[in-house]
Chains A and B, each alone.
Chain A
Amino acid sequence: MYGGGNIFEATVFDDLQAEDPVKLAEFEARIARGEKIEPDDWMPNLYRVQLIRMIEQHAHSEIIGALPEGSWITRAPGFRRKLALMAKVQDEVGHAQLLYSAAETLGKSREQMLTDLINGKSKYSNVFNYPTYTWADACTISWLIDAGAIVNQVANSKGSYGPYCRALERICTEEAFHLKYGHDSMVYLATGTEVQRKMAQEAINRWWGPIMSFFGPPDNVSVHTETLMRWKVKIASNDECRQQFLDMYVPKIWELGLTIPDDKLRKDEATGKWVYTEPDWEEFTRVINGDGPCNAERLAVRRRAEERGAWVRQALLNPKARYVRPLA
């Protein structure tokens, strides 16, 4: 699981005045009662648009995230690690399939989503625009990026949209293995030789910035955010997720004798909150808009795969088939 902090943008559908007030009240009452929304229910346009954006970004993050990890399968140390990493990458691509289907129930076809990804119109988790220099980078992704994603996704699984909840339930059961596998790989490096320890430390140093910005910039509290929280589209704020991640994983990094490249990082005992150096949000914005070390490579590789498979899809196409969005 790779889904990162979600960035909700204001849309032209933002205007709730245009919605039928009676239906809107029924919809909100249903969510307030703790019931899930299913695809055929009436829903405000803003709900539909933001959910498509969120689930689609999550799906893209799964397939793009599989690219840096997948490139380490042949170079993973030992047969068992190769098998495990292969199983993990296969899981991640499977997660993308589940998520694309969930997004499709809202009315956007999978083909449109894949085209938007390749053309840079849809986003994916920003961390995958950074390179993996050594095996330790792959271990850091498997452990800490997955850990961050789990924090986010556990929050999202309490959301209000039925198909997304069903997909996340399936995804979360598979994630338990990813996290343990990632931790195990990192523990082996950190408790190994001096060279291995150095490799682990350097990877943590490289990835700390991207990990901290993974959860997204602090949410600016707007009417828009409040609406999405009330509709249980957004469950926890980006800062809440970041705090939870620090709480769970900083001690686990420290116990391995590794350091974190942030002099300010400490837990304020009085507030119970972590104090840290604010991530470089300018870099975050620059990279997410296309100017990162690996953006071009990730999309080019995805596009090449898409183009190379075109003849197979063409050959198998059933001329009588018609497209129907998945049911649930």
Chain B
Amino acid sequence: MNLQSLDPRVNRLNIPASTMTPMAPKSVLDQFATYEAFIQKKEGAPFTFAGAVHAPNPDVAFLFAKEQYSRRSSCTGIWIVQTAHVKLTPYASDEASIYDSFDIDKPEGVTRPLEPYEVFHQQKRGKAHTHVGRVGATSYEEAYELAKNKFSHLTPVVNVWIIKSKNILQSAEEDKDMWVTTAEKKYREAGAYRVMERIKRFKKEQQRRRSKI
């Protein structure tokens, strides 16, 4: 006996009606690693943290993020970074600056190449991190030091994220046309649904009928 549903598509799945044995636990990577997505809402606006996606690689993460975070609002660019590539400070209290209370020692005796790092600030707990700028450094620790000098006037800062620029997959300038979507999607806006007139007409009609009786 198969499971019977009101939905013909479910009936076509031919699922047995008997109780199923529990599904075996899956590995934590069954649905891939996590990536963090940043969205630019309009030209010139800072990239702002939107949320995470699960994906097998940065390209797929980009496509998922585009679907998930730019589908319903304006967007002019997306940045994608694997979660493991984000270095972050502890969280300070609101109104305070983490730059005042958190220090890290620069690694000594190690020479690494000078590279660009992107710096993100969270201004208030509960809010999203936004991109504040870029520094050139030889380590995350040095990048944090430089960020402190360069951006600590932007208060308050409750949390800082630092990401190597090369680890960020950035949407390209020449692919801009990907952000132009079909203009006519009014059906998914609240403003497209106006029923007051219809309700008023209905009420009037009801009253008219009642007064006739």
CA distance A162 to B94 in the complex (A): 13
Task: Tell me which residues across on chain B come within 8 A of A306, comparing CB atoms.
Answer: 23
Give the number of residues in B that approach A within 8 Å (Cβ atoms): 68
Could you tell me which residues of chain B, from 155 to 213, have a CB within 8 Å of some CB in chain A?
159, 161, 185, 187-190, 192-193, 195, 198-199, 201-203, 206
19 contacts between A and B (CB under 8 A): A38-B91, A80-B187, A101-B52, A111-B30, A166-B127, A166-B128, A174-B72, A177-B188, A256-B199, A256-B202, A257-B202, A296-B17, A304-B13, A317-B29, A321-B33, A322-B29, A322-B84, A324-B34, A328-B129
Among candidates A71, A184, A316, residue contacting B9 with C-beta atoms closer than 8 Å: A71
Q: Mark A170-194, 1 if CB is under 8 A from B, else 0.
A: 1001101101110110011011000
Task: Tell me which residues across on chain A come within 8 A of B10, comparing CB atoms.
Answer: 71, 297, 301
Chain A: residues with CB nearer than 8 A to chain B?
A: 30, 33, 35-38, 40-41, 71, 80, 83-84, 87-88, 90-91, 94, 97-98, 101, 104, 109-112, 114-115, 118-119, 131-133, 162, 165-167, 170, 173-174, 176-177, 179-181, 183-184, 187-188, 190-191, 255-257, 296-297, 300-301, 303-304, 306, 313, 316-318, 321-328
CA distance A131 to B185 in the complex (A): 30
Minimum CB distance partner of A85 in chain B: B187
**B74 within 8 A of partner (CB):** no
Contact A316 B32 (CB under 8 A): yes
Chain B: residues with CB nearer than 8 A to chain A?
A: 3, 5-7, 9-10, 13, 15, 17, 19-20, 22-23, 25-34, 36, 49, 51-54, 56-57, 60, 67-68, 71-73, 82-84, 86, 88, 90-91, 93-94, 122, 125-129, 159, 161, 185, 187-190, 192-193, 195, 198-199, 201-203, 206
CB distance from B40 to the nearest CB of A (A): 16
CB distance from A1 to the nearest CB of B (A): 14
Contact B68 A97 (CB under 8 A): yes
CB distance from B34 to the nearest CB of A (A): 5
Contact A104 B190 (CB under 8 A): no
Minimum CB distance partner of B202 in chain A: A191
Among candidates A109, A300, A316, A324, residue contacting B56 with C-beta atoms closer than 8 Å: A316
Among candidates A30, A177, A304, residue contacting B190 with C-beta atoms closer than 8 Å: A177
Contact A184 B187 (CB under 8 A): no
Contact B195 A38 (CB under 8 A): no
A111-B27 in contact given A35-B94, A87-B188, A191-B199 (Cβ < 8 Å): yes
